Each structure stands twice: as structure tokens, then as C-alpha cells.
Structure 1
Amino acid sequence: MKLLTKTTLYFIILMLPVFAAGAFYLFHQFNKEIKHETDEELVNDHLEWLRYLDTASVNNPIFRFQTQEFRLIPTHQPVQQKFKLKGVALYQETEDTYAPFRELSQVINLHGQHYQMILRKSMIEKDDLLKNIITVMLLAFGGLLLFVVLSNWFISRQIWRPFYRSLDKIQQLQLNKMETLRFAPASTYEFNQLNKTLNQMTHRIHQDYINIKELTEDAAHEMQTPLAIAQSKLELLLQDENLSGEQLKNIGQAGEELQRLSRLHHNLLLLAKIENQQFPVTLQTDLCQVLTQYLSLFEELVHEKELTIETSLVPVARWPLHPALADILISNLLGNAIKYNYPGGRIHLSLTDKTFRIANTSHLPEIPPANVFQRFRKNNPVYTNSNGLGLAIVKKIGDSYAIHITYQYLDNLHIFTASR
């Protein structure tokens, strides 16, 4: 969840109970005030009726007049010194429902006779008024809450804009383009400090990248020359007819080790270049075309081992890979599947726009999962001619280009899967 969304959500969660409590408190206060005003009206009417009844004769029709709002009923109850106020609900025949009233009742003495006087006032209009007030208040509170939330969201979004700009630049960061990367100053102090720190950090990273790049280039140039000279000298020695068989054997082994050292040197430099992102992707590579090309190149080896190759390939599979790295990925996986297979074995190839899967038979046991992509790990004597970097390079290519490389051993098959 984004920070802006989270802060807005927390703000709403905190504000809703506050607004609800405020609305409930105002409703309670309005209701209390309306009841108080109604009770005051009843008390005033009660005083007026007492003054009038004191002067009215017993034969006055008022003693026989009864409505929902006024009743004067003869009773044997004792005279009450204080009137009583309460809320009642009376049936309304016209609307077939009960309506709220406030009622004042008191037993009084008139002309030597006890009467119970009941005065009532309808609360219907006041309740409607209260409902209208509450509705208006709720609409006002809702509008105010919406305004506050939207204002907070827009203000926060504006304040956090420099942060998101810097974050977007970091997400698109590439080592080979870091020299031109600059984080602009911000009006907010904290973000301005962050951008200054990021500028310093990217400058240092770029300088380290340049130094490592120069080191790998220099190493490639300086080491390749003596290796080539040593190899050529050994080849000249092999042409000497005066050498014994033991000497020729030793020279041949030295030449093999030099070739192995040359391959190791090449692979280590390749790993360094991949880690330094020196293979930018400008166009997507058709992996089907690359796979078809290497199947053709390895055709003699396949024929020599009498291997059966089963394929399930889409006509075009464009992957976000540098062409050179696509060649290395396919050649390493396919080369291993052929090299470590037994005569008459099988290789199954499956390729889609999202997945490349290669499975091969072999007499070799399952590779320990912890070691399969480790550098210089060789767990079987058959790997003596390998420098242990092939699968490490495959894994590094996958990590650098968001391609998930996995290995599993199933039904006596070594299965490598690349998916994106």
C-alpha cells in the first residue's frame, strides 16, 4: 500500500469516530433542548389553565371537555403538589400509527373535587424539525469530512511529489547511464537532504563502476597477451622432434591447462561485465532463432552421441536479452545437456514467450540444490574439464534481466527452466 494511501486511510479511520461522536453529541443536545422548550410550554399552559379553572364554575363545559391535548378527569387520588412530565406515544387514527407527545399531569382540587389535569403537546413537528436538522448536520459533516480528506490527500500528494520523482529515477537507474543522473533540489528540507545524499551516493557508485570497468578491460587486455604467447610457445615446442614422449605429454597437459585458464579468464571477465550491466537491452532477442542456430552448430556432437532431441518451440519467442547473452544462455544450457548426456540419451526442449525448459538424461546424480549455481563447485570427477562457471553465468544473466532460473531432478532427468 502506498504511503499516501495509508496516511489517508488512517486519517479517515481516526476522523470517522470523531465525527460520529460529534454528530451523536449534537443530536443528544438538540433533542434535550427541544424537550426542554416543549416542557416549558407545557408548564406555561399549565399555569394558564390553573388560573382559568379557578375562576370557572362547576357547570362550565370545560369540565366535560376532553381531547388528546387536554383532559380534566374526576379522580379519588390525593392532590399532588408537583406536576409530572414524561414522554408518551398516542395512537393517531388518521395515520394509523403512534405519535410522540410530551405530557404534563397533576391531581388538583377544584371546588372541593379532585381532578386529574393532563396537558399534552405533540412532538411530531419538533421531531421532524430535529430530523431535518440532523440530516443537514450529517450532510455538512459528510461534506466537511470529504473536503478535509481530499484536501489532505492533495496537499500530501503535492508535498511527497519530489520523493516520488526521486524514487522513479532510482527505479530506472542503470550503471552505464548513472553519470547523467541528477536529483533536483526540493523545497522541503528533508527531501532536499535526501536528494543531496542520493547525488553524492550515485556519484561514488558511478566512480566505482568506472574503476571496475577499467580494471576488467585492462585485465582482459594485459592477461590475454601473455596467455596467447605462452600457448604459441607450447605449440612450437610440440613441433620439436627431439622431445621425448613424456615431455610431449607434459607440454600437452600444460597447453590444456593454459586453454582452461584462458576460458576461466574469459568467463570471469564476462561475469564482471554482466554484473556491471555492460550489456544493455535495446531490442528483444528471438530466443527461438538462437536455439535453432545452436542446434545446428551442435548437430555433429548430437549425431556422434546418437542423442534424441524432442522440441516444442513457438515460431517466435522474443525475450528481453542482449544478443550476446542470449547466445551464452542457450549455448551453456544446451552444451551441458549434450556434454553430460550418455550415448543414446534424450534431450527435450520447450520454448514459449515466457518459459524456456531443457531436460536431459545423464548418468550423473542430482546436483545438490545449494551448489547448482555456485561458482567453482564440481561435485563429480567428470567435471574436471569444466571451470565451474557455466551455470553461474546462466544464473547471473537471469538475475540481471529478471529471468528466473531453476533446477530440478525428476524422473532421472536434469531439468533447467528459465521463466520471465
Structure 2
Amino acid sequence: MKLLTKTTLYFLLIMLPVFTAGAFYLYAKFNTEIKYETDEELVNDKLQWMRYLDTASVNNPVFSIKTPEFNLHPTTNPVQSKHNLKGVNIYQEPENTYAPFRQLTQVIRVNNKNYELVLRKSLIEKDDLVNNIIHVMLVAFGGLLLFVLLSNWLISKSVWKPFYRSLDKIQQLQLNKLESIVFEHTATLEFNRLNTALSAMTTRIHGDYTSMKELTEDAAHEMQTPLAIAQSKLELLLQDDTLSETQQNSILAGYDELQRLSRLNHNLLLLAKIENQQYPVTEQPDLCTVVEKYLLLFEELIKEKELHIHKEITATAPWPLHPALTDILVSNLLGNAIKYNYPQGNISIRLTSDTFTISNTSHLPEIPANVLFQRFKKHNNGYTNSNGLGLAIVKKMADSYHFHLTYYYTNGQHTFKITL
């Protein structure tokens, strides 16, 4: 969830209860005030009627007046010093409904007789007024809430713009293309501090990466010469007939290790060049031709193991890859399929214009996902005599040239699939 959305939701969760409580409070306050005003009107009407009845010039009359809003009738109840106020519902014949009234009752004495005085005030109009006011206030509250939310969202979006611009710059960075980044100066102190820290961090990373890259390349190049000299010297020693068999075996073992070290050095240099994008795609070599070429090159190994090759190859399959990397891709995958296969095993090759799949049988178990494409990790579980750089190089190609590389193991078959 975006920070702006999260902030807005939190703000909404806080404001909704506040606005709801405010609406209930105002409704209760209006209701109380209207009842209070109505009660005052009833008391005032009572006083007016009592003054009128006290001045009546009728000799011992027995009053009995009855209307929805005024009722005066004789009673035997004692005189009350204080009136009683309450809310009642009275039937309205024309509308056939009950309407709310405020009612004042008090037993008074008129011309030496006790009467119960009942005064009522209709609350229909006042309730309508309250409802109208509440509706208006709810609309006003709703509009105010929307306005506050929209204003908060627009202001927050404007305030956070520099942050998102800096984030976009960081997300677009590539280690092998890292250049000096200039972050804009903003009016917000915290964003300026963040941009300063990011600028210093990227500069430091760029420096470290450049130093490591130069060290790797220089070391790889410098190692090639002494390795070649050491190999040539050992080859000369192997041609010396005066050496004993033990000495020759020791020299041969050292020669084999030097060759392995030379291959390792070459592969590490190759990985560094792929990471540095030193193999631009200037043409699209035909992968079908490359596959057929390496099937011929590995023909002796295939015959030695009596492997069965199953091919499903299209006529042409131009792939956006450097020719040198195309050779390395096919030789690594096909070489592994032959190397780790068992005698009379199967190798299936399927090639289309956008997919390249190689499957091979093997007695070896499934390669664990956590070490599948890691360097120097293939010496366990039977994957001996390997530094683990073959699949790491293929994976680096896929990442650098935006291919999709997948591996799966089913029914004793290891399958690698590359999709454009």
C-alpha cells in the first residue's frame, strides 16, 4: 500500500468517528434546545390562561374545554404547585397518524374549584426543522470531509513528489551503468537530507564497483600470462625422457590443475565482461546452426556414451545474442547434458524462434534451487569436477539480455528452458 493511500485511510478512520460523534451531539443538542423552547412556550401559555381564568366574571362556572392543544376540565385531584412536562403522541384524524407533542399538565384552582389544565404544543414542525437542519449538516459534513480528504491527498501528493522522483532515479539505477546522479533540491529539509545521503551512497557504490571491476579485469588478464608460461614449462618437462613415472605423474597432475585454473580464470573474466555489457548485440546469429555445430563437435563424446539425441528444431531461429555468447550458451547446456548423463541415456533438444529447451537423463538428483545458479556450488551431490560457473554464466546471460531461464526436474530428467 502506498504511503499516501495509507495516510489518507488513517486520516479517514480518524475523521469518520469524529464527524459521526459531532453529528450525534448536534442532533441531541438541537433536540434538547427545541424541547426547552417548547416547554417555555407551554409555561408561558399556562400563565396566560391562569391570568385569564382568575379574572373570569362567571359565578361558580364549571369549565370544560377540550381541544388537541388545550384541555381544561374539573378534577378531584389536589392543586399542584408545579406543572409537569412530558412528551406524548396524539392521534391526528385527518392524517390517521400519531403526532408528537410536548404536554404541560397542572391541577389549578379556579373560582374555588379544582381543574386540570392540559396544554400541548405540536413538535411536528419543529421535528421537521430538526430533520432538515440535520440533513443540511450531514451534507455539509460530508462535503467538508470530502474536501478535507481531497485537499489532504492533493497536498500530500505535491509534498511527496520529490521523494517519488528520487525513488524513481534509484529504481532505474543499474550497477554496471552506474553514473553520477544529481538529486534535485527541495523545500523540505528531510527530503534534502535523504537526497544528500542517496547521492553520497551512489557515489561510494560507483567507486567501489569501478575499483572491483578494474581489479577483476586486471587480475584475470595478468594471470593469463603466468598460467600460459607455467603450462608450457610443464609440457616441456613432460617431454623429458629422463623423468621417472612418478615424476611424470606429479607433473601431469599439476598440469591438469593449471588447466582447470586457466578455465576458471577465463570463466570469471567472461562473467565480468557479461556483467559489464561488453558483448553488444550487433547481429542475430542462427541458434539452429550453432546447435548443429556443437552436436558435431560433441559427436565423439555422444558416441562414447551411446546417448540418444532427440531433436525438434525449426529451420531457423535468429536470437538477439552476441555470437560468442551464443556459442557459450549452447556449449555449456549441451556439455552438461552429456557430462552428467549416464550411458545409453537420452538428450532432448527443442528449439523454436523464441524457446530453447534441453533435457537430459541422469542418475544425479535434482539440483537444489538455492544453489542452482550460484557460483562454486556444484561440487555436492555428485556434481564433481566442476566449479559451478557454467550455469552461472548462462544465468548471467539471461539476466543481462532479458531472457527467462527456468529449470525443472521430472521423472529422472533435468530440463533447462530459455524463453525470449
TM interval, short-chain normalised: 0.7 to 0.9
SS of equivalent to 1:80: coil
Q: Which residue of 2 aligns with 1:72?
A: 72
Q: Which residue of 2 aligns with 1:26?
A: 26
Displacement after TM superposition at 1:323 (Å):
7.2
Q: Which residue of 2 aligns with 1:296?
A: 292
Output one character per residue of 1:105-129: Cα deviation in whole Å (capped at 9) or x when no partner: 1122223333222111111111111
From the superposition, tell whether residues 405 and 60 of structure 1 become closer, same or farther in structure 2 (CA, over 3 Å). Answer: farther
Displacement after TM superposition at 1:341 (Å):
1.6
Q: Which residue of 1 aligns with 2:184?
A: 184
Q: Which residue of 2 aligns with 1:89?
A: 89
Q: Which residue of 1 aligns with 2:9?
A: 9
Q: CA separation in 1, counterparts of 2:64 and 2:232?
A: 138
Percent of aligned positions that are identical? 61
Whether the 8 Å CA contact 1:313–1:349 is kept in 2: the answer is: no
Q: CA separation in 1, counterparts of 2:77 and 2:318?
A: 102
Output one character per residue of 1:76-135: Cα deviation in whole Å (capped at 9) or x when no partner: 222222111111112222222221111111122223333222111111111111111111
Question: Which aligned pairs between 1:322-361 and structure 2 lie closer than 5 A?
Answer: 328-349=328-349, 358-361=358-361
SS of equivalent to 2:76: coil
From the superposition, tell whether residues 295 and 398 of structure 1 become closer, same or farther in structure 2 (CA, over 3 Å). Answer: closer
Q: CA separation in 1, counterparts of 2:120 and 2:78?
A: 21
From the superposition, tell whether residues 222 and 134 of structure 1 become closer, same or farther in structure 2 (CA, over 3 Å). Answer: same
Question: Which aligned pairs between 1:168-317 and structure 2 lie closer than 5 A?
Answer: 168-232=168-232, 246=245, 254-274=254-274, 277-279=275-277, 290=287, 292-300=288-296, 301=298, 304=303, 305-309=306-310, 311=312
Provide the aligned C-alpha RMSD in A: 3.8
Q: CA separation in 1, counterparts of 2:86 and 2:109?
A: 22
* Letter matched to residue 56 of structure 1: A
Displacement after TM superposition at 1:63 (Å):
3.4
From the superposition, tell whether residues 99 and 229 of structure 1 become closer, same or farther in structure 2 (CA, over 3 Å). Answer: same
From the superposition, tell whether residues 316 and 104 of structure 1 become closer, same or farther in structure 2 (CA, over 3 Å). Answer: farther
* Letter matched to residue 335 of structure 1: G
Q: CA separation in 2, counterparts of 1:312 and 1:61?
A: 123
Whether the 8 Å CA contact 2:364–2:382 is kept in 1: the answer is: no
Q: CA separation in 2, counterparts of 1:269 and 1:94?
A: 101
From the superposition, tell whether residues 381 and 89 of structure 1 become closer, same or farther in structure 2 (CA, over 3 Å). Answer: closer
Whether the 8 Å CA contact 2:317–2:351 is kept in 1: the answer is: no
Q: CA separation in 1, counterparts of 2:418 and 2:126?
A: 75
SS of equivalent to 1:82: coil
* Letter matched to residue 120 of structure 1: R
Q: CA separation in 1, counterparts of 2:282 and 2:109?
A: 106
Displacement after TM superposition at 1:68 (Å):
0.9
SS of equivalent to 2:95: coil
From the superposition, tell whether residues 201 and 404 of structure 1 become closer, same or farther in structure 2 (CA, over 3 Å). Answer: same
Question: Which aligned pairs between 1:115-154 and structure 2 lie closer than 5 A?
Answer: 115-154=115-154
Displacement after TM superposition at 1:281 (Å):
9.7
How many corresponding residue pairs? 413
Displacement after TM superposition at 1:16 (Å):
1.1
Once structures 1 and 2 are overlaid, which stretch shifts more, 347-356 or 390-399? 347-356
Q: CA separation in 1, counterparts of 2:313 and 2:40?
A: 93
Whether the 8 Å CA contact 2:277–2:400 is kept in 1: the answer is: no
TM-score (norm: length of structure 2): 0.83
Whether the 8 Å CA contact 2:348–2:358 is kept in 1: the answer is: yes
Displacement after TM superposition at 1:13 (Å):
0.7
Q: Which runs of 5+ in 1 are unaligned?
A: none
Once structures 1 and 2 are overlaid, which stretch shifts more, 390-399 or 164-173? 390-399
Whether the 8 Å CA contact 2:186–2:192 is kept in 1: the answer is: yes
SS of equivalent to 1:168: helix
TM-score (norm: length of structure 1): 0.83
Q: CA separation in 2, counterparts of 1:37 and 1:379?
A: 92
Q: CA separation in 1, counterparts of 2:86 and 2:163?
A: 63
Q: CA separation in 1, counterparts of 2:280 and 2:114?
A: 106
* Letter matched to residue 390 of structure 2: G
Output one character per residue of 1:185-215: Cα deviation in whole Å (capped at 9) or x when no partner: 2221111111111111111111112212221
Once structures 1 and 2 are overlaid, which stretch shifts more, 213-222 or 373-382? 373-382
Q: CA separation in 2, counterparts of 1:107 and 1:318?
A: 107
SS of equivalent to 2:341: coil
Whether the 8 Å CA contact 1:182–1:199 is kept in 2: the answer is: yes
